Structure 1
Amino acid sequence: MQQVQAIVARAKGAPVEMVTINIPDPGPGEAVVKIQACGVCHTDLHYREGGINDEFPFLLGHEAAGIVEAVGPGVTDVAPGDFVVLNWRAVCGNCRACDRGEPWYCFATHNATQKMTLADGPDAGTELSPALGIGAFAEKTLVAAGQCTKVDPEARPAAVGLLGCGVMAGLGAAINTGAVGRGKSVAVIGCGGVGVAAIAGSALAGAHTIIAVDIDPKKLKKAKAMGATHTVDSSATDAVAAIQELTGGNGADVVIDAVGRPETWKQAFYARDLAGTVVLVGVPTPDMKVPDIPLIDVFGRGGSLKSSWYGDCLPSRDFPMLVDLYRQGRLDLDAFVTEEIALGDVEAAFEKMHHGDVLRSVVVL
């Protein structure tokens, strides 16, 4: 066992704290990873606010890259010294999804078995709940070895670590879930980190029309820089009508809702062409309901209404490929890194996130 510094959320809505935690030696199927960089994702804020569950205290952070320090018995896919991007869907290999050759849908993903704990104070020994089974706002963390994906060690950790969640979710929503390809038209509603990644993925896949929709001019400007061919300020313009006008009156082939609210999902539904696809990748809250849409419209428009789980990615397949594209200059992951910060600056990064000032703040250790 060893002790490291880490960022923990002790109670709902309370500011995060830097504390000392205990990292167990890796057991069977586990790995200890020395964290080099970790993005500040909105999901971490959801954990702090009690929006995921109430299993406090949480060890926050999950969009991370680092170096494998040690592995437990039975680990063969990674070894000490490997540069890895962490993921939160370590596939099991034998559930019904894996058995039918669709491991990106794995229904039995797993995390480390042992628990990291608080090291000091009256609550020393209290087990921590790692965000998305990772907990990477820490000098080191313990994960299942399957959560480690080897990538090109020459890649910049602050950039490629973002594949661990938001950037992969957006890229995958376009390429994997939405099947965007050459000649397709795409609209993306919501241009935060995930939405801009969906725009970048659509451009990478060869879409000819890519429409970015948001209410924030700063976000629309970033979307344009990442590949959007058109922008729509939906605070001043009806988004559905604007998307239809930009696609010859038809609607887009694929509309991606990167917000995850009933009103944006309804916009996505009506902004697509006949037989088009809606992809929901923005995460709704448990109280939100599917909007009131006549069933005849669902039938009459045809097409597909899809949800995108983690961009329907398979980390072992997608992470190395995307890192290679980044290294070739074909995918600008650096553009997602707005600022590099220290471990103690996470609370301030949450505040910047509220104001829409950043795509990603990235903790660099």
Structure 2
Amino acid sequence: MTDDLFEPAAFRTALQEWLADNNLTPPPNDDSLDGHQTQHLRVLKALYDADWMRYGWPESAGGLGGPDILRAIVGEEVVGRGLDHPGPYSMLDVLTPTMIDYARPELAAEMVPRLLSGQESWCQGFSEPGSGSDLASLTTRAVQQGDNWVINGQKVWTSFAQFATRCILLTRTGDANTPNHEAITAFFVDLDSPGVSVRPLRTMHDVDEFCEVYFDDVVVPTDRMLGKPGDGWKLAMDLLPYERSTCFWQRIAYLYSRFDALIEEVKRQGQSVDTELGETYLALHTLRCRSRATQHRLGDGQKLGADTSIDKVLLAAAEQKLYDTARDLMPGVIELDDSPWRTEYLYSRAASIYGGTAEVQRNIIARRLLDLGKE
């Protein structure tokens, strides 16, 4: 690829032409989680072999350079076309920057290409049964023993852990006198290590996307620490905005594709495109405009912070509005039919919970952006 194709519009055109010439359409009639994972790895391998998955990532970690916005374009095109599902794809843009920023350079150079090429999947071990929104209170503990650390504890709501080879894991390492935020340390843990147990959780939308992960005297070498002892809180704060930047851009593309599908279904039933569809489009378009600004700030090298809570609130509102509209315009489909619409409607109920509840996000906006204080 020539340097002029680092320009986003030219890059998108070249990618679209490549996708038109290379059939990555998922196999029909397999909407299972296993099917999503198989397709995800297939798509990543094809994109990596053709170099598309390497653009926007630094050469030091196996990338080919170029602006960050290039990888947002790849995600938008792939997910928006239904070639990959936004769930597994989103882990790339959450975990890869963390590895590049916090792992030893040699470890990042070894591991990042495995993730981008579909050789492996990783997961994020943050939340615990008693430490969801209050992440600083986590209790999974790592104790140093010579050149290793021994980890004991439990994580929950760990997305796609049953498919993951490795986990970016937050642990507590300080003593009783260490402030919570300074007592958290991150590790890069192999999930086939002795003492690791993964138990999928079946949710109300009948998909075991989330898991419990148990660590029972799991030995991790010191050179698998991400950053230094006590850097875990900073790592988490740097990681979370990525969940609300490029990751959201891909999900928005998917929601737009479902909005188009809803319009086609409404037309097929002979209904008119009414005000409710207009309100749904407005919610999606508002979200997209906000997320576009976030992508460009990220691409300009700005650090993302509390302002991405606005993106999270808008995403939850738009996603739930879309599926509420689908329920209203397709009577009985959500309630009675075993269809993707039913599964996605049920999943959308969690949009205001996962990744930080709407209430917590609004508190962040009020306190850190509007300076309204605690009351």
Q: TM-score range by the shorter chain?
A: under 0.3
TM-score (norm 2): 0.24
Task: Give the number of the structure with larger relative contact order, counting CA–CA contacts within 8 Å between residues 6 or more apart.
Answer: 1
